[in-house]
A = this chain, B = another copy of it.
Amino acid sequence: MQALQNKICSEGKVLSAEVLKVDSFLNHQMDPALMQDIGREFAKRFVDEGITKIVTIESSGIAPAIMTGLELGVSVVFARKRKSLTLQNNLYISQVHSFTKQETNDISISKEYLQATDRVLIIDDFLANGQAALGLLDVVKQSGATAVGIGILIEKSFQSGRTLLEQTGVRIESLARVASLEDGTVTFLETVTAGGAQS
């Protein structure tokens, strides 16, 4: 998606060969018009999948997810993140390890808001090691609902997440695929033509 790639190029900060910081438009300050464009793009890509619900994770997934939900006309549920949850009967719970923060969190969704008949689109901001998306897939699976797609804003294609997710067979759409952050420069996987035909 051209607009997102442009924003990453103009405002993203490459902190290391593995860390891209996009606090100015996604992870702390948010650009509402860009989030609306992203919602429209996800809706366009997934419109034929019969989606009935969007699932994301707090906090940075919420803005793109709510815009996608608005376009598709479906509700959005955000999974809560907690250090650890005592077993609760009314929650679907999965564990998510963050390699960046070196900590494991429980993520949870109330059983009230996922039904076995739901066709779910998962939205998340980053795909790196894939742990958050796999946790969300696990939660959806526990409910008996069908995960029909995963929509990612920024994929770090040089990390293992994409491959891990592909093994689940669920369709993945990443709006910006970062091939490398070497030498302080963001290189995208697909070369975008002037007309924006690709990616």
A residues near B (Cβ < 8 Å) are 23-25, 28-33, 35-36, 58-59, 62-63, 66-67, 69-70, 73-78, 80, 109-110, 112-113
Contact = CB atoms under 8 A, between A and B. Distances in A.
Contact of A59 (B25, B62, B113): B62
A73 B36 CA distance: 12
Contact of A30 (B24, B35, B78): B78
A66 B35 contact: yes
Q: Is the interface of A mostly helix, strand, loop or mixed?
A: mixed
A78 B78 CA distance: 16
A76 B32 contact: yes
A112 B66 CA distance: 25
Contacts of A35: 66, 70
B66 A78 contact: no
24 contacts: A23-B110, A23-B113, A25-B75, A28-B77, A28-B109, A28-B113, A29-B76, A29-B77, A29-B112, A29-B113, A30-B69, A30-B75, A30-B77, A30-B78, A31-B75, A32-B67, A32-B69, A32-B74, A58-B59, A59-B80, A62-B62, A63-B63, A63-B66, A63-B76
